[in-house]
A and B are shown apart, each in its own frame.
Chain A
């Protein structure tokens, strides 16, 4: 008996050590297990749960839905996810929350039609599940090989060789910043000229695969049992007619179950989607498409499903920050707004940045219309009013508080002192209109790691360097001499 207890104790110790090793080695996929980790760490009520594949987690951005309508939504989805995996996600999620509405993107039934998922997709959809029984079921439905099922279930055979690529990020537990980047932070900016054909003439139906239909109905039943309203959606993509026939079939089932189905392949124009501008590939939105689609659905949910606006709820203060982070990262480079609006966004931008401001020629005439408090967001504390054609340099680190400021009537300002306090190579100089050396070619300059970023236009030339991302996230100028609207120009 003693030996049996010792054996059990030994096994417990071995499992605990293996558990920790597993935590370090495991994949950190943002569209799979990290989403589940973020979900498990969330303590706030979620009104809208969103299931599906990349068309859910990539297209429905919870940050934008929050920012635009105050909808608390969570995309619990993984790339190329099959219906059965979505079902087990729903089953798992109901142990932790009771959403008011379930949005389910039904693309999986047409795009993957009952096929086994490959191992990577299965890992995305199962690795982070806490319920071992449901995890085993989901894996068994996804992968035919028994050896592979065991391997994926255990996890470590799949990723133990990651010891070669471990980084610091693999060791700590998930931080709130990481959660925000998982839940709110997918940014795809490239533009693909898509071609979505008109499918409205296709009235035929094609049945779902038997296994897909079984789990599709299970999802509807489970939602019904838990008194959750279901909104079926299909975000637009370049689809073949065969897919549309399956969506017609799904529409039929939806009607029979009294469930709404919004097939945006037929009505993407209502959302304002422009196939030539809003996609990053034939099937996925870029940030512009994501924004339109997310805002549309958030509004639709508010108007048709009575989803509350929770923006005044202090419990969600963190979401405000994350959503603004996302918005800032995703849209700032394209946002031609006023300096004042921009400064509001910058203030809410949680990443640590270094702001460089230099004056080219002249910046003083209109600057008094901007409050000193607003300018201090850029690190500008000096009073520039009346400093006609003065040179000016400001370098401000929002994290450390490092602040360098110099103003000069007729001498070139070169930022030299304490440059070693900054994490990158910096060469900054400014020449005002009265500068004695102004006939030289370069009037003002902001070089970061040897690369010039200053627009070198009249007024304030501003460059924002993100220390976490180790990159310049924005460079623009505002003509504070001649433009009373202070429009940002790039």
Chain B
């Protein structure tokens, strides 16, 4: 069930109304049932996998909490990791590794026709994070299986995050009986959902048309075609993924839950490191807390630290998909940071020598453009179907300086008419304004709430009408899934 589907339009209000109407002690059971229904709407069989992950992490975490020695605790954590990572490996990576081995050693080991269950990487990491939190004593083991199951399967963030921490979400599940309906919170959550839907159905789906046209026919495109498509893919993946997070956060807010922020204007980052502190924050911090720090983090030699970064980003790449393109994408982001760290003394010297004002707008803008360009370069690997295609596309960028495509009408032959392109540009402008507000700590929702009622209502209704009219939804289109579902 997609957030931008009509089914969700019916599902969510029913779930919300009943949630606040039924006796509070049954709320978690109602939300659990709704969450499983939500998940099973993709494929009922998937429920068995999430149930297995839930049951094993629940049991192991209880055993961890009851174990008398550290070695026993470690054993149960290891058991939980082994079972869940095996499931993840089997469904997500087995064929990839088999294919790789077959190619490397000229073997013919069989591959299996397994369907990747949606959101498996998300809920597996969430459940494993809980086990580790219990081991570390940061959260007590939950005895009520159904409440724990709700923590793992909470429908707003089940299939594409944010990957919640037990300290945050599990504690809210435990306290949910005391949550009362709140009008302002509902309004705020709904506004977030509308904004998220706008990003998805008006902006991301439009950008996707040009991106798909160029990337699916890459051999026909050079120069600015590739640059435009890659720029739009950067926009598409950001708005697509952040849209899902915003709708998830908004839906949870309506129900009285606070989920963590997942994106914080990442394209305004001035370093690649900063980008990763602003992009998919729930995953970045997960890797930081459960992989980078256990590997030694910053508290080790310079080269060991670089190796830790590289490991984390290669694993992050693999988390995104079982393909070498994702490994290279992750590795490239790790290498950017290592090079950035190594070049830091040179940068400092240049800044000092030329007395560059690092806080000036021009310098910040320069840094933002450089980081955005580097990230765009890595997105080519992320989007391209294979590494050879990605390299091919990069070489295609320099094959022709075809700047005339902006004026000779060629740009209208990429799948969007002049009218559709105008809507795309207007939507991008809206995103830019919203991002600038967010970057400068201005809450548009709070500002809007201060306005007179007629203005607010006009704004809300206009936003809804824009969604209704200009959104890509309904049977005329075959809307793409949210990109991050596949991870």
Contact B7 A18 (CB under 8 A): no
Nearest-neighbour CB distance to chain B for A39, whole angstroms, equals 27
Question: Does the CB pair B468–A158 fall under 8 Å?
Answer: no
B7 touches A21 (CB 8 A): no
**Stretch binding the partner chain, chosen from A56-64, A148-156, A177-185:** A148-156
Q: Provide the bound-state CA to CA distance between A147 and B420, in Å.
A: 26
B184 to chain A, nearest CB (A): 9
B100 to chain A, nearest CB (A): 39
A7 — nearest CB in chain B belongs to which residue? B183
Cα separation A29 to B241 with both chains bound (whole Å) = 39
Q: CA separation between A158 and B469, bound complex, in Å?
A: 11
Instruction: Name A76-134 residues within 8 Å CB distance of B.
Output: 119
Please state if B473 and A14 are interface contacts (CB–CB under 8 Å): no
Interface centre among B6, B419, B460, B464 (most CB of A within 10 A): B6
A256 CB to nearest B CB, Å:
42
Q: Do B470 and A147 touch (CB < 8 A)?
A: no
Does residue A171 face the partner (Cβ distance < 8 Å to B)? no
CB-based contact A163/B6 at 8 Å: no
**Given that A10-B457, A147-B6, A154-B6 are known contacts, is A119 also in contact with B470, CB under 8 Å in the complex?**
no
C-alpha spacing A3/B187, complex, angstroms: 11
Chain B minimum-CB-distance residue to A161: B476
Question: Is A157 positioned at the interface, with any CB of B under 8 Å from its CB?
Answer: yes
Chain A stretch 1-29: residues in CB contact (< 8 A) with chain B: 3, 6-7, 10, 13-14, 17-18, 21, 25
The answer on a CB contact under 8 Å between B7 and A147 is yes
With A147-B7, A151-B6 as given contacts, are A160 and B457 in contact (CB-CB < 8 Å)? no
Partner of B469, one of A21, A146, A148: A21
Out of B7, B417, B464, B471, name the residue touching A160 (CB < 8 Å). Answer: B471
Q: Tell me whether B10 is interfacial, beta carbon within 8 Å.
A: yes
CA distance A28 to B420 in the complex (A): 23
Residues of B within 8 A of A25 (CB): 469
Partner of A151, one of B419, B460, B474: B474
Which residues on B sit within 8 Å (CB–CB) of A17?
Answer: 461, 465
In the bound complex, residues from chain A placing their C-beta under 8 Å from that of B471 are 160
Provided the pairs A157-B475, A160-B471 are in contact, do residues A147 and B5 lie with their beta carbons within 8 angstroms? yes
In the assembled complex, which residues on chain A have CB atoms less than 8 Å from the CB atom of B468? 18, 21, 156, 160
Residue picked from B417, B461, B474, most chain A C-beta under 10 Å: B474
Chain A residues near B7 (CB, 8 Å)? 146-147, 150
A421: Cβ under 8 A from any B Cβ: no
Q: Is the CB of A150 within 8 A of B457?
A: no
Find out whether the CB atom of B476 lies under 8 angstroms from the CB atom of A21.
no
Cβ contacts B183-196/A at 8 Å (1 or 0 each):
10000000000000
- Residue on B nearest A6 in the bound complex, by CB: B453
Name the interface size band of chain A: 20 to 34
C-alpha spacing A160/B7, complex, angstroms: 18
Asked if residues B469 and A157 are in contact (CB atoms below 8 Å), the reply is no
- Find residues 431-487 in chain B having any chain A CB closer than 8 Å to their own CB: 453, 457, 460-461, 464-465, 468-471, 473-477
Contact status B460-A150, CB under 8 Å: no
Q: How far is the CB of B426 from chain A (nearest CB, A)?
A: 13
Shortest CB-to-CB span from B355 to chain A, Å, is 54
Instruction: Please indicate which of the listed interface residues B420, B453, B468 has the most CB atoms of chain A within 10 Å of its own CB.
Output: B468
Q: Is A469 close to B, CB under 8 A?
A: no
Complex: how many Å from CA A121 to CA B469?
Answer: 23
State whether A158 touches B475 (Cβ < 8 A): yes
A167 at interface, CB cutoff 8 A? no
**Residue ID in chain B nearest A146 by CB atoms:** B7
Q: Which residues of B contact A148 (CB under 8 A)?
A: 475
Contact between A164 and B474, CB atoms less than 8 A apart: no
Chain A residues whose C-beta falls within 8 Å of the C-beta of B465 in the assembled complex: 17-18, 21
B464 to chain A, nearest CB (A): 6
Tell me which residues from 348 to 376 in chain A have a Cβ below 8 Å from any Cβ of chain B. Answer: none
Provide the bound-state CA to CA distance between A164 and B469, in Å: 10
Instruction: Name the interface residues of B171-187: CB closer than 8 Å to any CB of A.
Output: 183
Q: Are B475 and A163 in contact (CB under 8 A)?
A: no
What's the nearest-Cβ distance from chain B to residue A9, in Å? 9
Compute how far the CA of A478 lies from the CA of B457 in the bound complex, rounded to whole angstroms. 68
Chain B residue numbers with a CB within 8 Å of A18 are: 464-465, 468
> For residue B475, which residues in chain A have a CB less than 8 angstroms away from its CB?
119, 148, 151, 157-158
**How far, in angstroms, from A465 to B471 measured CA to CA in the complex?**
43
Mark B1-42 against chain A: 1 for CB-CB distance below 8 A, else 0.
000011101100000000000000000000000000000000
List residues of chain A with CB within 8 A of the CB of B417. Answer: 164
Contact A157-B419, Cβ < 8 Å, known A10-B457, A17-B465: no
How many angstroms between the C-alpha atoms of A157 and B8 in the bound complex? 14
**Known contacts A21-B469, A150-B7, A160-B468, A13 near B457 by CB under 8 Å:** yes
Within 8 A of B (CB), among A39-87: none
Residues of A within 8 A of B470 (CB): 160, 163
Interface string of B380-398 (1 = CB under 8 A from A): 0000000000000000000
With A146-B7, A158-B474, A161-B474 already in contact, the answer to whether A13 and B469 are too (CB < 8 A) is no
Task: Give min CB distance, A405 to chain B, whole Å.
Answer: 48
Give CA–CA (A10, B183) in the complex, Å: 14
Cross-chain contact A157 with B6 (CB below 8 angstroms): yes
Within 8 A of A (CB), among B98-122: none
A7 to B453, CA, bound (A): 12
B469: A residues at CB distance < 8 A? 21, 25, 160, 163
Looking across the interface, which residue of chain A has its beta carbon closest to that of B476? A161
Contact A150 B10 (CB under 8 A): yes
Query: Chain B residue with minimal CB distance to A155?
Result: B474
Residue of chain A at shortest CB distance from B417: A164
Assess whether A13 is in contact with B474, with CB atoms less than 8 Å apart.
no
| B473 CB contacts on chain A under 8 angstroms | 157, 160
Among A18, A146, A147, A150, find the residue whose CB has the most chain B CB atoms closer than 10 A.
A147
Assembled-state Cα–Cα distance A317/B293 (Å): 89
User: How long is the Cα–Cα vector from A328 to B216 in the complex, in angstroms?
Assistant: 54
A46 vs B464: C-alpha distance when bound (angstroms): 42
> Residue of B at shortest CB range from A14?
B461
- B248-284 to A contact mask, C-beta < 8 Å, 1/0: 0000000000000000000000000000000000000
A7 to B186 alpha-carbon distance, docked (Å): 11
Which B residues are within 8 Å of any A CB, using their own CB? 5-7, 9-10, 183, 417, 419-420, 453, 457, 460-461, 464-465, 468-471, 473-477
Q: A3-B183, A148-B475 are in contact. List 19 more A-B contacts (CB 8 A).
A: A7-B183, A10-B457, A10-B460, A13-B461, A17-B461, A17-B465, A18-B468, A25-B469, A146-B7, A147-B5, A151-B475, A154-B6, A156-B474, A157-B6, A157-B473, A158-B474, A158-B476, A160-B468, A161-B477
27 contacts between A and B (CB under 8 A): A3-B183, A6-B453, A7-B183, A10-B457, A13-B461, A14-B460, A14-B461, A17-B461, A18-B465, A146-B7, A147-B5, A147-B7, A148-B475, A150-B6, A150-B7, A150-B9, A150-B10, A151-B474, A151-B475, A156-B468, A158-B475, A158-B476, A160-B470, A160-B471, A161-B474, A163-B469, A163-B470
Nearest first, the 3 A-B pairs at minimum CB distance are A157-B474, A150-B6, A3-B183
